Structure 1
Amino acid sequence: MLISENTVVGFIGQGVMGKSMAGHILKSGYPLVVYTRTKNKAEELLEKGAEWADSPKKVAEKAKVIITIVGYPSDVEEVYLGEKGIIHHAKQGSYLIDMTTSTPTLAVKIFEEAKKKGLKALDAPVSGGDIGAREGKLSIMVGGEYEDFAAVKPILSLLGTNIVYQGDAGSGQHTKMCNQIAIASNMIGVCEAITYAEKAGLNPKNVLKSIASGAAGSWSLSNLAPRMIDGNFEPGFYIKHFIKDMNIALEEAEKLGLTIPGLSLAISLYSQLAEKGEENSGTHALYKYYNDNENV
């Protein structure tokens, strides 16, 4: 199936990132059908011309390209493989693109079940948080068949600027695990650096001017450290979802016989924050660990 400007795109999930991502597709002119469990999260898109569907089944029946970005692997499984899920109701030849961070094993299962039905499935998790989603500058890592990737790349290009085909089904999710492992230890370093600057009596914003573009530079240092300093812990990505991702990465590492102590430490620190009620804060709220007098 060729993707044209008249191809109906379905979008399931209107969270911190999904709302902006769906908005880019609608703005580009594609007919858009949306579903989310809480309808009012989609109101802005509906006002701009998107069509509402009241279930994944209805999205699957109307759209030829279906994008999902939901919360947990259990949500992905229900949306795709459940009785009212996408695979049971999508039109033959449809493209299914899961952009949730989920397990490589589930990505392979969805790919195989989709293929039996004449559907084309890709796992395409993203990185870049709310900022990347809002600006259409996400990094997108894709697993599945290359021909399917090539077919939907024009749509993916509306959402990101760094779009890389990684290999067979599950490869996108494995790549995202690499991303989350790198972020986990990096975030510890960013929080410790800002806390050190403050304890040393420095102006942390001036410190950032010196170190953000040097060898210590990272996306988290440039984009999230300023939020830490300003006391803004609104989520670009939820702690609860990051803990989910890190646990997936740890489980996959164990399957590979790999020990990754940096990730284990990060999970421990974030779990302590979640127990203190910070699960709905942004990942940069790890800064609070170092600034709590009881050190959590």
Structure 2
Amino acid sequence: METPYPISIVPTKTRIGWIGIGVMGAAMATRLLAAGYSVAIYARSPSKALDLQSKGASLVNSASELAQVSDIVFTMVGHPSDVRQNVLEKNGLLQGLNPGGVIVDTTSSHPDLAREIFAAARAKGCWAVDAPVSGGDIGARDGKLAIFGGGDAGVVKWLSPLFEALGKVTYVGEAGCGQSCKIANQIAIGGNLMGLSEGLVFAERAGLDVKQFVEAVRGGAAGSMAMELFGERMIERDFRPGGFAEYMVKDLGMGVDVVEEGEDVERIVVLPGAALAKQLFSAMVANGDGKFGTQGLISVVQRLNGKLLGCGCARVRRRHWC
């Protein structure tokens, strides 16, 4: 496979573009700036880019303009519709991307859209990689994200210097496979969060010290990365987001809501646990807590058990059902 450029990716020459500067995106862009790369940003709300600008990033006026001044453009936005708008629609990245340019979508998006973007990029002599990530705000900040690379294997390998600044990339297959891997990841973490939430609620109801409970079981079979990342946050009612609960509804939905008109029956998978997890995260959204972190799932289990809680979130300054 011929790589997009005959030279290696190096901070002094490779121009990076970035769209999506929320909790995750801002931390990831900061990692690339710290590694010495030139980073340009397009933001619908320019005021949100001030912190990154203070670290050396530049700001442009549109996605198309961003593509024109970048060799590689990363996207980390909320929904597949946002990806489509920023990449494929009028004034999107593909309109301005120069031949040989690369789009790296780190959003949790739909596999079919990733394949559509890959085909559209190749038709223009460009490349596209779907590379969603896992690890939350802590992983993004510390450069320890798990990255699921889908697309051309040679291009994913060529991008490795950038991925190494963000975490560890695993090539998982052709276009769309990165997104499928992320959906499977979310199915697994959704089940972990359900189990952790119920374990903590049961332990407290049984009269255990919940911090002692976590310490006792974390080295055994019940221990998990979910427990390490979120156990203390759940206990302290710290629901500040690394990833929004409402996005978990989206991600799980892409796994369980696959029965569409004309869908290949061989692709339909029965996922009862994921369906239940989606219902519980949907309950969070219905409760007005969609902007909480995914660790806030424990609030739904506590509500089901009739417990009035004092929440540690900045949004609320009183005791409430959270």
- State the AA in 1 paired with 2:287: K
Question: Quick one: distance in 1 between partners of 2:188 and 2:298?
Answer: 17
Question: Quick one: distance in 1 between partners of 2:21 and 2:296?
Answer: 23
Question: Quick one: distance in 1 between partners of 2:270 and 2:200?
Answer: 28
The answer for unaligned runs of 5 or more in structure 2 is: 308-320
Partner of 2:251: 245
- Which is richer in helix? 1
CA contact (8 A) 1:253 1:260 kept: no
Partner of 2:314: none
CA contact (8 A) 1:228 1:287 kept: yes
Q: 1:27 aligns with which of 30, 34, 44?
A: 34
2:213 aligned with 1:207: yes
Q: Aligned to 2:23, what secondary structure does the other structure show?
A: coil
* TM-score of the two chains, using structure 2 as the length reference: 0.89
Report the CA distance shift for 1:174/1:252 in structure 2 as closer, same or farther (over 3 A): farther
* TM-score of the two chains, using structure 1 as the length reference: 0.97
Q: 2:21 aligns with which of 14, 17, 20?
A: 14
2:264 aligned with 1:258: no
Question: Quick one: distance in 2 between partners of 1:137 and 1:186?
Answer: 20
The answer for unaligned runs of 5 or more in structure 1 is: none
Matched ranges for 1:44-193 at <5 A: 44-160=51-167, 162-193=168-199
CA contact (8 A) 1:234 1:282 kept: yes
Partner of 2:203: 197
Deviation at 1:40, TM superposition (A): 2.0
Q: Aligned to 1:224, what secondary structure does the other structure show?
A: helix
Question: Quick one: distance in 2 between partners of 1:290 and 1:70?
Answer: 29
Percentage identity across paired residues of the two chains:
38
Report the CA distance shift for 1:253/1:185 in structure 2 as closer, same or farther (over 3 A): farther
Q: Aligned to 1:176, what secondary structure does the other structure show?
A: helix
CA contact (8 A) 1:104 1:171 kept: yes
Question: Quick one: distance in 1 between partners of 2:229 and 2:210?
Answer: 14
- State the AA in 2 paired with 1:283: T
Equivalent pairs counted in the alignment come to 295
**Which runs of at least 4 in structure 1 moved beyond 6 Å after TM superposition?**
none
2:245 aligned with 1:234: no
CA contact (8 A) 1:66 1:96 kept: yes
Deviation at 1:220, TM superposition (A): 1.1
Across the aligned residues of Structure 1 and Structure 2, the Cα RMSD in angstroms comes to: 1.4
Q: Aligned to 1:106, what secondary structure does the other structure show?
A: helix
Question: Quick one: distance in 1 between partners of 2:147 and 2:188?
Answer: 16
Deviation at 1:294, TM superposition (A): 4.5
Report the CA distance shift for 1:11/1:273 in structure 2 as closer, same or farther (over 3 A): same
- State the AA in 2 paired with 1:212: R
